[in-house]
Structure 1
Amino acid sequence: MKRKDFIKSSTTFAAGTVLFPMISCRDEKKTIAEEVTAQVRKNWAGNYTYTAENLFEPSTVEEVQALVKKLDSQKALGSCHCFNNIADSPLNQISTKNLKGIIDLDEKAMTVTVGAGAKYGDFATELHDKGYALHNLASLPHISVAGACATATHGSGVTNGNLATKVVAIELVNGKGEIVQISKTDDHELLNACVVSLGALGIITKMTLEIEKTFDVRQDVFQNLPLESLKDNFNAILSGGYSVSLFTDWQDQNISQVWVKRRMDQEIKDLGSDYYGATAATRNLHPITELSAENCTEQMGVPGPWYDRLPHFKMGFTPSSGKELQSEFFIPREKALDAILALEKIGEKFKPQLMITEIRTIAADELWMSPCYHQDCVAIHFTWEQNPKEVGELIKIIEKELEPFVYRPHWGKVFTIAPANLHSRYPKYSEFITLAKQLDPMGKFKNDYLNQNIYNS
Structure 2
Amino acid sequence: MTSKNWAGNFSYSATRLLEPTSVDELREMVAATPRIRALGSRHSFNRIADTTAVQVSTAGIPLDIEIDEAGRTVTVGAGARYGEFVRQLDRAGWALHNLASLPHISVAGAIATGTHGSGDRNGCLSTEVAGLEIVAADGGILTVRRGDPGFAGAVVSLGALGVVARVTLDIEPAFEVRQDLFANLPLTSLTDHFDEITASAYSVSLFTTWGEVGADPVWIKSRMDAPAAAVVSGKLFGASRVPVQRSPLAGAPAVNTTVQDGIPGAWWDRLPHFKLEFTPSNGEELQTEYLVPRRHAIDAFEAVRALAPRIRPHLLVSELRTVAGDDLWLSPSHSEDCVGIHFTWQQHIPEVTALLPDLDAALAPFGARPHWGKLFETDPARMPRLYPRLADFRELAERLDPGHKFRNEFVDRWLFGA
TM-score, L = length of structure 1: 0.89
Tell me if structure 2 keeps the 8 A contact 1:114–1:207: yes
- Aligned position for 2:329: 368
Tell me if structure 2 keeps the 8 A contact 1:272–1:280: no
- Give the whole-Å Cα distance in 1 for the aligned partners of 2:235 and 2:242: 10
CA offsets 1:291-332 (integer angstroms, 9 cap, x no match): 111010111111100011100001332449821110000100
User: Superposition pairs for residues 435-446 of structure 1, below 5 Å?
Assistant: 435-446=396-407
- Aligned position for 1:137: 99
- Aligned position for 1:380: 341
1:105 equivalent in alignment to 2:51: no
1:247 equivalent in alignment to 2:207: yes
- Give the whole-Å Cα distance in 1 for the aligned partners of 2:417 and 2:112: 20
- Aligned position for 2:195: 235
Aligned length: 417
Q: 1:321 to 1:359 in 2, by over 3 A?
A: closer
What is the aligned-residue RMSD (CA, Å)?
Answer: 1.4
- Displacement, 1:136? 0.3
Once structures 1 and 2 are overlaid, which stretch shifts more, 109-118 or 397-406? 397-406
1:256 equivalent in alignment to 2:216: yes
Partner of residue 8 from structure 2, selected from 33, 41, 46: 46
- Aligned position for 2:162: 202
- Aligned position for 1:415: 376
Tell me if structure 1 keeps the 8 A contact 2:274–2:281: no
Gaps of 5+ in 2: none
Tell me if structure 1 keeps the 8 A contact 2:189–2:214: no
- Displacement, 1:61? 1.5
1:291 equivalent in alignment to 2:243: no
Tell me if structure 2 keeps the 8 A contact 1:112–1:211: yes
Instruction: Supply the AA of the counterpart residue of 2:144.
Output: I
Partner of residue 301 from structure 2, selected from 324, 340, 345: 340
- Give the whole-Å Cα distance in 1 for the aligned partners of 2:98 and 2:153: 22
Partner of residue 177 from structure 2, selected from 199, 212, 217: 217
- Give the whole-Å Cα distance in 2 for the aligned partners of 1:341 and 1:176: 50
Normalized per residue, which structure has more helix?
Answer: 2
Partner of residue 133 from structure 2, selected from 142, 147, 171: 171
1:430 equivalent in alignment to 2:396: no
Structure 1's consecutive aligned runs of 4 or more residues displaced over 3 angstroms after TM superposition are: 267-273, 318-321
1:154 equivalent in alignment to 2:109: no
Where 1:386 maps in the other structure, the secondary structure is: coil
- Give the whole-Å Cα distance in 2 for the aligned partners of 1:346 and 1:66: 50
Tell me if structure 1 keeps the 8 A contact 2:256–2:280: no
Tell me if structure 1 keeps the 8 A contact 2:21–2:62: no
- Displacement, 1:289? 2.7
Q: 1:45 to 1:442 in 2, by over 3 A?
A: same
1:316 equivalent in alignment to 2:277: yes
TM-score, L = length of structure 2: 0.97
- Aligned position for 2:45: 83
- Displacement, 1:66? 1.1
Gaps of 5+ in 1: 1-37
- Displacement, 1:69? 1.4
- Give the whole-Å Cα distance in 2 for the aligned partners of 1:271 and 1:352: 37
Tell me if structure 2 keeps the 8 A contact 1:358–1:382: yes
- Displacement, 1:124? 0.6
Tell me if structure 1 keeps the 8 A contact 2:201–2:227: no
Instruction: Supply the AA of the counterpart residue of 2:300.
Output: A
